[in-house]
Structure 1
Amino acid sequence: MIRTVARVLLGLFLLAAGTTHLTVAREAFRAQVPSWFPADADAVVVVSGVVEIVLGLALLVLVRRRAVVGLVVAAFFVAIFPGNVAQFVEGRSAFGLDTDTARGVRLLFQPLLVVWALWCTGAWAWLRERRRVAS
């Protein structure tokens, strides 16, 4: 029950974040696109917003495939981590993160999102079981 609630909350969080990528926080999300990334920052924000919406919906709807969805969500959180690092290194302010300390503390939360995705979807247990069966 608690994992289900955590999965639904994560799905709703991703839906909300994705929606804000496309609407009210679009400029703030551009601050997280690394200056060295070889793509238009606005396009990256739009694409990542759409991906977050799709992942949020998948967490809510694809219950029978939740472990696979959890792996994909965790991989997404890992993939966007360089943007958070870039925001810290480049000293870009967004979302009220206007000091190095605030941006640095935020970096600590990204691994927690990965853990949340893997735990609430049962992806860790699913991977362990697949590994056990393969042995």
Structure 2
Amino acid sequence: MKISTSFTQNVCRVILGLLMILAGIGHLTFQREEFQAQVPRWLPTSDTFMDFVVVASGVVEILLGLAMVILFKYKVKVGIILAIFYVLIFPGNISQYTNSIDAFGLDTDLKRLVRLFFQPVLILWSLWSTGALVHLLNKQK
């Protein structure tokens, strides 16, 4: 899959990768409790299980972030995998909204609702910055 991306796309890909690494580090350290607020409440809510989910997703975020920065030869595949990851974690954001859970400064229903609209932006960012969006659209033809 050889897809050409612009300088702007490459910069955006690296920025997104670095943000993923930072978020992953946050999962493992200074934001660990905050991220527990996003574990869907339909999953077991024991502290041990919720901490496992936060740590596991943090490790995945660090790996995906590193892949976005380093594995530029596989950027299309990495972009698609990251977009899928964003879809898979979206229920956590919905759970935070529907259960009125405060975290990350999202202390009102309106703030939590607005946050939901940023997930599609992240999905598009991962697909656009890696050239995966063009690849997927060309496959449809």
Distance 1:117 1:87 in 2: 23
Query: Could you say what secondary structure the match of 2:10 adopts?
Result: helix
**What percentage of residue pairs aligned between the two structures are identical?**
52
User: Could you say which residue in structure 2 is the equivalent of 1:97?
Assistant: 106
Matches within 5 A, 1:120-135: 120-132=129-141
Of the candidates 36, 41, 59, which is equivalent to residue 68 of structure 2?
Answer: 59
Of the candidates 29, 39, 43, which is equivalent to residue 35 of structure 2?
Answer: 29
Instruction: Provide TM-score, normalisation by structure 2.
Output: 0.90
Distance 1:34 1:43 in 2: 13
Query: Could you say what secondary structure the match of 1:32 adopts?
Result: coil
Query: Could you say what secondary structure the match of 1:74 adopts?
Result: helix
Of the candidates 109, 115, 120, which is equivalent to residue 124 of structure 2?
Answer: 115
Deviations 1:28-82 (Å, cap 9, x if unpaired)?
0000001111471110000000000000000001111100000000000000000
Q: Which structure dedicates a bigger proportion of its chain to helix?
A: 1
Superposition deviation, residue 126 in structure 1? 1.6
User: Could you say which residue in structure 1 is the equivalent of 2:78?
Assistant: 69
Superposition deviation, residue 130 in structure 1? 3.7
Deviations 1:14-36 (Å, cap 9, x if unpaired)?
00000000000000000000111
Please report the RMSD computed on the Cα atoms of aligned residues, expressed in angstroms: 1.1
Distance 2:105 2:119 in 1: 17
| 4+ runs deviating over 6 angstroms | none
Superposition deviation, residue 114 in structure 1? 0.2
Q: Does residue 1:20 correspond to 2:21, yes or no?
A: no
Query: Could you say what secondary structure the match of 2:117 adopts?
Result: helix
Distance 1:130 1:34 in 2: 34
Aligned length, in residue pairs: 132
Instruction: Provide TM-score, normalisation by structure 1.
Output: 0.94
